Amino acid sequence: MSKNLTTRSEDYSKWYNELVVKADLAENSGVRGCMVIKPYGYAIWEKMQAELDRMFKETGHQNAYFPLFVPKSMFEAEEKNAEGFAKECAIVTHYRLKNDPDKPGKLMVDPNAKLEEELIVRPTSEAIIWSTYKGWVQSYRDLPLLINQWANVVRWEMRTRLFLRTAEFLWQEGHTAHATREEAVEESEKMMNVYADFAQNFMAIPVVKGLKTETERFAGAEETYCIEALMQDGKALQAGTSHFLGQNFAKAFDVKFANAEGKQEYVWGTSWGVSTRLMGALVMTHSDDQGLVLPPNLAPIQVVIVPIYKTDEQLSEIAAAVSVLTADLRKLNVTVKFDDRTTQKPGFKFAEWELKGVPVRIAVGPKDLENGTFEVARRDILTKEIKEKEGIAIYIKELLEQIQNDLFDKALSYRNNHITEVNDFEEFKQILEDKGGFVSAHWDGTAATEEKIKDMTKATIRCIPLDAKEEVGTCVFTGNPSSKRVLFAKAY
Amino acid sequence: MSKNLTTRSEDYSKWYNELVVKADLAENSGVRGCMVIKPYGYAIWEKMQAELDRMFKETGHQNAYFPLFVPKSMFEAEEKNAEGFAKECAIVTHYRLKNDPDKPGKLMVDPNAKLEEELIVRPTSEAIIWSTYKGWVQSYRDLPLLINQWANVVRWEMRTRLFLRTAEFLWQEGHTAHATREEAVEESEKMMNVYADFAQNFMAIPVVKGLKTETERFAGAEETYCIEALMQDGKALQAGTSHFLGQNFAKAFDVKFANAEGKQEYVWGTSWGVSTRLMGALVMTHSDDQGLVLPPNLAPIQVVIVPIYKTDEQLSEIAAAVSVLTADLRKLNVTVKFDDRTTQKPGFKFAEWELKGVPVRIAVGPKDLENGTFEVARRDILTKEIKEKEGIAIYIKELLEQIQNDLFDKALSYRNNHITEVNDFEEFKQILEDKGGFVSAHWDGTAATEEKIKDMTKATIRCIPLDAKEEVGTCVFTGNPSSKRVLFAKAY
C-alpha cells in the first residue's frame, strides 16, 4: 500500500484533503459541494452518534423527526434567522419532471408542476420545529420539551471542503422549550458542557468553552455558547454550539403557555448542534504524516492483528493463537480485527492500518509462536515492543486507555502552548502570522473593532471564554477600556 | 385521559388516523404531505432501526452516506428508473433567497441564483450510488460491495397518509454490487429473508414471501422480491422489497470490473429497503379499539407500573416496593417505567398506557402491599390477574415472550383465514367484496389481464408466492392456461 501522502509541513490543507480520501473517510461526489461518507468514515461517525445519543438521553432528551422542507412563509417568520440563512438556501420550486420533447431520452422540469409556495431545504430546523411546538404546548405541564433530531441539512456554501464545509451535512439539532428564562439558559449551558465532555473524553480534543460575540452569534439567538478547538496548523475550529434563543422563536410562531397562575406567557427556547464537521476536527487534531491517528474511544477497529507467515501451516498455527487473543479482547469490549487476507503482504497491511489510524497493531510470526510473544505497536507514537502472551489482553485494554489519555494530553499541551497573551497590535499580527493559535487580547466590545481586526488579520473572535478573569485593560486595537480578554484566531 | 377513538368497525381508516395522532406516534406538519414523527413514535422506529441495523451488519453490510441531491443528468441515466420516479420528484432549481423589494420583511427566490443543472431530491439512491461505485470498483477483488444507508427520501405523493404514504419518509436502502449474477440473486433473496425474519420475530407480523409481477416491479429491476402482510381490514401491505437489478445500473453508469482472467465485465447489482411505512403496518396489524397494541420486542416501554394511593405515606411505601421490582426487571433487560406523576389519577394513567400500547401494566395499591401482591394486566387481551411478588420479575419476563408469540399467532391465524382459493371470477369479486384478504387464483401471466382485473376490482397481484405449487389451472379471468396461483388483494 503506497501512501504518497503530502506532509503537513509541505501543505497542511493538501495533506488533510488527501488523507480524508486515502483513509477512506469521505470523497467528493458528483453533486456540487456534497460529499459521500465512505463506510470507514461513517463507522467513526456512528460511534460519535452512539455516544452523543446516549449523553442526550441521559440528560432527559428524546429523539423525534421533523420535515426536510420549510415553506417560505414559515422560513421567514423569524426575521433574523431567515436573514442569516437566506443567502445559502436550496429551494424546491417544482414537483415533477417530464420527457423533454426536444431531446429524446432526456427529462425536463415540468413547468405545469410549479409549487404554489416554494420550499426551503432546511438549513436548520428552528422554524419547522417551533411551528410544531405551537400545537404541543398549552400549559406549564407540557414543559419542558426536550427534543433532539438526527438529520441532514443543506447550506449552499460556495467553497466547500470534505467534512469541514459541505453543502449537505449530517448533524443533530436539539430544540428545547421551557417555562422560564433561567431554565432555558441552564439548558444551553448544560448542552455546551455535554459537548465539551464528549470532545474531551471521546475525541480527545481539548476545548475552550465560551460565548460568541454578537457578530458571530447564531441568527435568531440571544446568546450562543460554543466549544472551540485548535487544529495542528494553529487554526481554530468551532466544534459545537448551544444557543439560548430567548423568546424569539416563541414570538415568531406564537408559542405561549398558561403558567401555574393561568396567565399566558411566551415559551423560552434553546437549540444546540454538532455535525459531521467533528470528523474534520478529529482528523486535524491527532493525525500525522503517516495517516490517521484515531482515539481508541472512537476507532471502529481498536486493534488489528497481522499474521507474518510463509506457509499455510504457519498461518493456521498463528490463527489458532490469535483466536484465543481475539476472544479475550472481545470479552474486554475491545474491537479487534484479524487481517488474514492472503492477497496482501504484511508490509502492505502495516501501511494500510497505519493510514487508517488503528490505535494498536499486533503482529505474530513463527518466532512469536515459539517464544509465546506478540509484537505490539502503538499508532500514535509509532513504537513497537515484544510482549509475553500471558496477560496480554488486559495489557492491551490498558494500553488503549493510555493512548486515549496521551492523545488528549498531547493535544492539550499543544493547545496550551498556543494561547498567547498579547497587549499590542503589532505583536498581535506577528503572533498570528508566525505562531498561530489563539491570541488572548483585550477588546473594546464593539462589532466595528472586531470587523476591522478581521479585515486586517483574518482573525475573528472565537469566543469570550467562560472562565475569563475580570481584568483592567485596554483594547489591543483601539486602546479603549476593556475588562476581559477574548480569544482571537484564524478559523476553519 | 379521554380517548374518544373511532372504532375499527365504524371507520377503519379514521380509526387509524386518530390512533396514530392520539397515541403520539406522528402528526401532519405544516408542510404538505410531510409528517412529524413524535418522540413516542420515533422511539419505536429507533428500536426497529437498531434491530435491522444489527441484522444488516451480521450479514456483512456496512453503512455509508450518499448525497440527498441527484443532478438531473445523473438521475435520467438509467431510463426505466428515471421514468418510474419522474412524476413524483421534488426539484431544486435555485440556491438563494433575497429580500422581496415589493414586500418589506418578506423573501423571494433570487432569480439570479438559478442552478445550471436542476437537482432532484432523491426518491431512491440507485443513480447517485452507482455513479459513485464506478470509482470504487476496478477488479473482482473490490467486490462485493455490501453497503446500506439510513436516509430520508422524497416522493411527491398527491394523497398522503401518516406513515403509509408521505412525501418525505425515512428508510434504509441497501445497495450491493457483485461479480456474478448468482451472487446478486442470492443477496436479493437473503435480504428478503432478513426482512421476513424481522417482520415475524420483532413486529409479530406474518408475511408472504414472493415475487412481484412485471407491472409491480421496481423501476430498473429485473426481479423484485417482496414480503406482503395483511392488515385487519383485509387489505394487503407491502412491507419490504429486495430488487435484483441485473446489470442495468452497471450499464447505465459504466461500472465494470476486471475478472480473475483480466476480462472486463459489468457488475451485478441489488437494492433493498424498508421504511417508516412499517410503523403503519405495526399499528394496523395488532391494535384495537382501545388503542395501540405493541409487540414487546418493539415497545419503548414494556412494563408500566401505576401506584394506587391516597396518602403520601402510601405512595412512598409503594415506591419502595416498586424500586425492588424495577431493579429486578431491569436486570432481565425489561424496559420499565414507574408512572408516579402526581398530576394524574390512576384511571387516566390506565387509559393513557392502554392507548399507547404498553404490553404489561402493573398496579400496586395498599392492599397489594399488605398481601405481597401485584396486579398484572395484559394489554393485548385486556386481562388482569393478581400475582405474588415472589418470582414476579421472571414471570413478567416470560409473560412478555408469551405476548410476543400470542400476537404473532393471532395475526397468523387471521392471515391464514384470509387466504381464499378461488377458481371463478364472480367468486373472486365476491370474496374481495365480502371478506377481503388475499385471493389465491390462477392468472394467465399477462399484464393486460392484471390491469383489467385491477380496473374492475381494485385488486392487484401482491405477489407470486415463492412457495406456490406447480398446478394445472386456468386463469380466473381469461380462462387461459396457468401453472401457478398468485395472490391478489386490495392494498395500501
pLDDT (tens, 9 = 90+) of chain A, 492 residues, equals: 456 899 999 999 999 999 999 999 999 999 999 999 999 999 999 999 999 999 999 999 999 999 999 999 999 999 999 999 999 999 999 999 999 999 998 999 999 999 999 999 999 999 999 999 999 999 999 999 999 999 999 999 989 999 999 999 999 999 999 999 999 999 999 999 999 999 999 999 999 999 999 999 999 999 999 999 999 999 999 999 999 999 999 999 999 999 999 999 999 999 999 999 999 999 999 999 999 999 999 999 999 999 999 999 999 999 999 999 999 999 999 999 999 999 899 999 999 999 999 999 999 999 999 999 999 999 999 999 999 999 999 999 999 999 999 999 999 999 999 999 999 999 999 999 999 999 999 999 999 999 999 999 999 999 999 999 999 999 999 999 999 999 999 999
- As to burial, measured by CB atoms within 10 angstroms (0-12 exposed, 13-18 middle, 19+ buried), residue B362 is buried
Q: Which letter does DSSP use for residue B5 in this model? A: P
Q: At a CB cut-off of 8 Å and minimum separation 6, what does B219 contact? A: B80, B81, B83, B84, B85
For residues B389 and A164, give the distance between their C-alpha atoms in angstroms, rounded to a whole number.
57
Mean pLDDT, rounded, for B185-206: 98
pLDDT at residue B44 in the model: 98
List the Cα angle B155/A65/B56 in 5-degree steps: 75
Tell me if B272 sits within 8 A of B195, measured CB to CB.
Answer: yes
- From chain A, pick out residues whose CB is under 8 angstroms from the CB of B45: 65
Which of A1, A31, A57 to mutate: most B Cβ within 10 Å?
Answer: A31
Please answer yes or no on whether B97 and A91 come within 8 Å at the CB atom.
yes
Q: Is the pLDDT at B231 greater than 90, yes or no?
A: yes
Please answer yes or no on whether B69 and A87 come within 8 Å at the CB atom.
no
Tell me how close the Cα of B36 comes to any Cα of chain A, in angstroms. 5
Please answer yes or no on whether B72 and A107 come within 8 Å at the CB atom.
yes
For residues A346 and A352, give the distance between their C-alpha atoms in angstroms, rounded to a whole number.
10
CB atoms within 10 A of CB B290: 16
Please answer yes or no on whether B92 and A89 come within 8 Å at the CB atom.
no
A66, A91, A156 ranked by CB distance to B93: nearest: A91
Please answer yes or no on whether B36 and A94 come within 8 Å at the CB atom.
no
pLDDT at residue B3 in the model: 64
Residue found by looking up cell 405495526 in the block:
B282
Helical (H) or strand (E) element with B219:
none
Tell me if B457 sits within 8 A of B477, measured CB to CB.
Answer: no
Residue type (1 letter), A352: E
pLDDT at residue B343 in the model: 87
Nearest CA in chain A to B155: A95
Query: What's the pLDDT tens digit per position in B33-65?
Result: 999 999 999 999 999 999 999 999 999 999 999
Q: How many CA atoms lie within 13 A of A183 on its CB side?
A: 14
B107, B152, B168 ranked by CB distance to A82: nearest: B107
Nearest CA in chain A to B127: A30
Give backbone dihedrals phi and psi of A360, rounded to 5 degrees, phi first.
-130, 135
- From chain B, pick out residues whose CB is under 8 angstroms from the CB of A89: 95-97
User: What would the grid cell of residue A79 be?
Assistant: 426575521
Tell me if A467 sits within 8 A of A440, measured CB to CB.
Answer: no
Tell me how close the Cα of A327 comes to any Cα of chain B, in angstroms. 18
For chain B, the C-alpha Rg in angstroms (whole number) is 26
pLDDT at residue B477 in the model: 98
For residues B287 and B1, give the distance between their C-alpha atoms in angstroms, rounded to a whole number.
18
Q: Which letter does DSSP use for residue B98 in this model? A: E
pLDDT at residue A3 in the model: 64
Q: Is the pLDDT at B2 greater than 80, yes or no?
A: no
For residues B262 and B68, give the distance between their C-alpha atoms in angstroms, rounded to a whole number.
36
Percent of chain B with pLDDT over 90: 98
For residues B492 and B484, give the distance between their C-alpha atoms in angstroms, rounded to a whole number.
24
For residues A324 and B355, give the distance between their C-alpha atoms in angstroms, rounded to a whole number.
51
A65, A86, A119 ranked by CB distance to B107: nearest: A86
pLDDT at residue B456 in the model: 97
Report which of A9, A145, A3 is spatially closest to residue A66, judged by C-alpha positions: A145
Report which of B84, B89, B48, B52 is spatially closest to residue B68, judged by C-alpha positions: B89
Please answer yes or no on whether B63 and A72 come within 8 Å at the CB atom.
no
Percent of chain B with pLDDT over 70: 99
Please answer yes or no on whether A95 and B168 come within 8 Å at the CB atom.
no
Tell me if A395 sits within 8 A of A387, measured CB to CB.
Answer: yes
Tell me if B236 sits within 8 A of B492, measured CB to CB.
Answer: yes
A46, A93, A152 ranked by CB distance to B93: nearest: A93
Mean pLDDT, rounded, for B355-372: 97
User: What would the grid cell of residue B205 be?
Assistant: 407480523
Mean pLDDT, rounded, for B450-477: 97
B86, B106, B131 ranked by CB distance to A107: nearest: B86
Tell me if A428 sits within 8 A of A475, measured CB to CB.
Answer: no
For residues B279 and B27, give the distance between their C-alpha atoms in angstroms, rounded to a whole number.
13
H-state helical runs in A160-267: 181-201, 248-252
List the Cα angle B277/B279/B283 in 5-degree steps: 125
Which of A44, A91, A175 to mutate: most B Cβ within 10 Å?
Answer: A91
Nearest CA in chain A to B66: A36
Tell me if A97 sits within 8 A of A114, measured CB to CB.
Answer: no
Please answer yes or no on whether A43 and B62 come within 8 Å at the CB atom.
yes
CB atoms within 10 A of CB A155: 21
pLDDT at residue A444 in the model: 97
User: What would the grid cell of residue B70 be?
Assistant: 441527484
B39, B71, B90 ranked by CB distance to A64: nearest: B39
For residues A69 and A92, give the distance between their C-alpha atoms in angstroms, rounded to a whole number.
9
Report which of B107, B95, B27 is spatially closest to residue A128, judged by C-alpha positions: B27
Tell me if B405 sits within 8 A of B297, measured CB to CB.
Answer: no
For residues A234 and A238, give the distance between their C-alpha atoms in angstroms, rounded to a whole number.
13
ipTM: 0.97
Q: Is the pLDDT at B207 greater than 80, yes or no?
A: yes
Q: What is the pTM of this model?
A: 0.97
**CA dist A332 → A391, B122, B417 (Å):** 12, 42, 51
Please answer yes or no on whether A105 and B79 come within 8 Å at the CB atom.
yes
pLDDT at residue A355 in the model: 98
Report which of A283, A323, A284, A288 is spatially closest to residue A299, judged by C-alpha positions: A283
Report which of A382, A135, A408, A218 is spatially closest to residue A298, judged by C-alpha positions: A408
Please answer yes or no on whether B82 and A31 come within 8 Å at the CB atom.
no
Report which of B244, B256, B367 is spatially closest to residue B317, judged by C-alpha positions: B367
Q: Is the pLDDT at B103 greater than 70, yes or no?
A: yes
Tell me if B137 sits within 8 A of B255, measured CB to CB.
Answer: yes
Please answer yes or no on whether B46 and A68 come within 8 Å at the CB atom.
no
Furthest C-alpha separation in chain A: 83
Confidence band of B4 (pLDDT split at 50, 70, 90): confident
Tell me how close the Cα of B343 comes to any Cα of chain A, in angstroms. 9
Please answer yes or no on whether B90 and A91 come within 8 Å at the CB atom.
no
DSSP-assigned letters across all residues of A419-483: EEE--SHHHHHHHHHHT-SEEEEE--S-HHHHHHHHHHHS-EEEEEETTPPP--EE-TTT--EES
For residues A465 and B362, give the distance between their C-alpha atoms in angstroms, rounded to a whole number.
51
Q: Is the pLDDT at B388 greater than 60, yes or no?
A: yes
